[in-house]
Amino acid sequence: MRTLLVVGNDKLGRRLIHGLLGNFPANLTIVIDGCKSWPRIYKLLRGGRLGVGTFLKMVWAELVRRNYSIPMFNKVVSDSEIVDYAKKIDAGRVFLFRVSIIIKPETLSRGLPFYNTHCADIIKYGGLGSLSKALAKGDFSQRVVIHRVTPSIDVGEEISSENYNLNPKLTYPQNEEIAYSAGIKLLSMVLGGNN
């Protein structure tokens, strides 16, 4: 089955792609999330769904992590563009990694399955800022989950998961690195790579 992978345009997204390039599954097509995320971030901060402290930790982590050079990929900016691209390449499923595009219920009702990678326990820490919440509660035993996207955030059927441990002695960026390394490894295995 052909798979479409939509990847966020940040250093972790580029890291995932860089790793897949060494062992690229033949049935995989990658596109980049070209959506401008700053307006959405402002809306989330203003609405209180993302705390300023958590946002600053996430920005700090992005600034200090390694950047990877990758080739150019096509971009999508909406869920309808994702569906159109999936039809164009005859993809039977779509995986998301660090994507800011909202997948609307009417898009999900079309029958094309979407899957998301969530790098903290989805049952306890669904939604935004999950890793920061887990660290604040001292919940260091975590798991990355790949789940089906549904109209409700982070409640869809789990298709794969992997346990990992955070470290209270490390900084937030170092713990984010642990979490996303586990997420990249699991997603790579599910996609047919071996990172």
User: If you count DSSP H runs as helices and E runs as strands, how many of each does the chain have, helices first?
Assistant: 7, 7
Q: What is the CATH number of the domain that holds 94?
A: 3.40.50.170
Query: Which pLDDT score is estimated for 177?
Result: 95
Model pTM score: 0.89
Distance of CA 1 to CAs 86, 147, 148, 158, 177, Å? 12, 18, 17, 19, 31
Name the residue type at position 169.
Answer: K
Mean pLDDT over 45-50 rounds to: 62
How many structural domains does the chain have? 1
Strands 158-165 vs 141-148: parallel, antiparallel or unpaired: antiparallel
Query: Which pLDDT score is estimated for 83?
Result: 97
Two structure tokens written together for 123:
């049952």
Query: Which pLDDT score is estimated for 61?
Result: 81
**Residue range(s) defining the domain that contains residue 88:** 3-191
Per-residue model confidence as pLDDT tens digits over 90-102: 999 999 999 989 8
